[in-house]
């Protein structure tokens, strides 16, 4: 994903259509001089919908289209004819898009499947024509109901990447290197912190033509849940990953301490992340020997773990087996 093309947050102004007014028409024909009221109802205003599209991966198309208006309903007419409904607007978005109210943070709707349609805003109802108000004591009503106003407000659209496995680690933990090694993704890799500035997604091929999706997000630092580093901007992507792969380099001063730091940031951001399945991968193990590996085994977090090297292609098949087992909830 090109950093200039990946947009996962937009704020747009939406306005649904106004309902059309009812008609006050009175029937007047050659041989029916006093035919009574026959004004039709107004058409409803246009709705605004969100629709999932699995061929889209960014909200870039909405970055430069900040105002979205649906059509207004037309007024009713003679012979109880109902006015035309306002034109609906359908906004296509990637799978995993969430709509929120910017003022209250209220969750409005969420798109999780291809072709799923959710109503973002409803158009106003059309007004009733004057024939609805006819009664024995008011046989010629010369009034009708106006159309209902549509809604208008700002809306935030956030994209939360849908992937089977999310990579969690401090900057320069080897996440992008792993992704580039076991998938066809080509993330930027360099020897400095925050090389990854946007989430990257890759499809990991597995046995028997099976596969799963892996997502690499920018590195997490202490205080990420408060917005430090790139924290709040990308921590939300982890919410959609059923399995979290924690990655800590073998030259880390303390693997257990670093793991607890990462875990604490996730818990502070969203306690529900603690319910996800977790795996620990010790990366860059081509830099250590077997004796040091055994020594490090004595002080590991109590979760499934293994030693890997993306550069030396060491332990990657075992990692795939373990991830597949966790994704599908069975023993490897």
Give the mean pLDDT of the chain: 83
Distance CA 89, CA 66 (A): 14
CATH top-level class for 1-159? mainly beta
- On the question of a common fold for 1-159 and 165-328, the answer reads no
pLDDT of 90 reads 96
**Does residue 35 or residue 231 have the better pLDDT?**
35
In terms of DSSP H, where are the helices of the chain? 60-63, 175-182, 231-235, 255-269, 290-297, 316-328
In this predicted model, what pLDDT tens digit does every residue of 268-317 receive, in sequence order? 888 888 888 999 998 888 877 788 888 888 778 888 889 988 888 888 99
In this predicted model, what pLDDT tens digit does every residue of 148-188 receive, in sequence order? 999 999 999 988 777 888 888 887 777 888 888 887 656 54
Provide the token pair at 294: 């055994």
> Which residues are CB-neighbours of 35 under 8 A, at least 6 positions away?
26, 27, 28, 29
pLDDT(8) > 90: no
In this predicted model, what pLDDT tens digit does every residue of 244-276 receive, in sequence order? 999 888 888 888 888 888 888 888 888 888 888
Q: Phi and psi at residue 145, in whole multiples of 5°?
A: -90, 135
pLDDT band at residue 12 under the 50/70/90 scheme: very high
State mean pLDDT over 118-124: 95
Strand bridging mode 277-283 / 117-121: unpaired
pLDDT(62) > 80: yes
pLDDT of 5 reads 64
% of the chain exceeding 90 in pLDDT: 33
Q: How far is CA 309 from CA 174, 212, 214, 234, 286, in A?
A: 9, 20, 17, 26, 6
Is the distance from CB of 68 to CB of 96 less than 8 angstroms? no
pLDDT of 331 reads 56
Break the chain into its structural domains and give their ranges: 1-159, 165-328
CATH 3.40.50.300 fits 165-328, yes or no: yes
In terms of DSSP H, where are the helices of 171-212? 175-182
pLDDT(194) > 50: no
pLDDT of 117 reads 95
């Amino acid at each position: 994903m090109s950093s200039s093309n990946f947009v996962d947050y937009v704020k747009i102004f939406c306005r649904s259509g106004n309902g059309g007014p009812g008609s006050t028409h009175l029937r007047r024909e050659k041989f029916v001089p006093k035919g009574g009221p026959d004004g039709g109802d107004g058409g409803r205003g246009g709705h605004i919908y969100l629709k999932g599209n699995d061929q889209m991966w960014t909200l870039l198309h909405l970055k430069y289209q900040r105002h979205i208006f649906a059509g207004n309903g037309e007024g009713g007419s003679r012979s109880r004819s109902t006015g035309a409904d306002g034109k609906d607007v359908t906004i296509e978005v990637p799978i995993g898009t969430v709509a929120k109210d910017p003022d209250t943070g209220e969750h409005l709707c969420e798109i999780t499947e291809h072709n799923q349609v959710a109503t973002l805003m409803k158009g106003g109802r059309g007004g009733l024509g004057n024939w609805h108000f006819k009664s024995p004591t008011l046989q010629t009503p010369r009034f009708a109901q106006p159309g209902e106003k549509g809604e208008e407000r700002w809306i935030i659209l956030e994209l939360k990447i849908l992937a089977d496995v999310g990579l969690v680690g401090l900057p320069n933990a080897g996440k992008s290197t792993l992704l580039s090694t076991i998938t066809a993704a080509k993330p930027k890799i360099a020897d400095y912190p925050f090389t990854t500035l946007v989430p990257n997604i890759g499809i990991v091929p597995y046995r028997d033509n099976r596969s799963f999706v892996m997502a690499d997000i920018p590195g997490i630092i202490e205080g990420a849940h408060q917005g430090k580093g790139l924290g709040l901007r990308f921590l939300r992507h982890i919410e959609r990953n059923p399995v979290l792969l924690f990655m800590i380099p073998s030259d880390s001063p303390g693997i257990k301490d670093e793991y607890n730091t990462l875990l604490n940031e996730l818990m502070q951001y969203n306690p529900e992340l603690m319910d996800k399945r977790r795996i620990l991968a010790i990366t860059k193990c081509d830099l250590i020997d077997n004796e040091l590996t055994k020594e490090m085994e004595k002080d590991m977090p109590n979760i499934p773990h293994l030693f890997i090297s993306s550069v030396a292609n060491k332990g990657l098949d075992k990692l795939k087996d373990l991830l597949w087992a966790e994704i599908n909830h069975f023993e490897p």
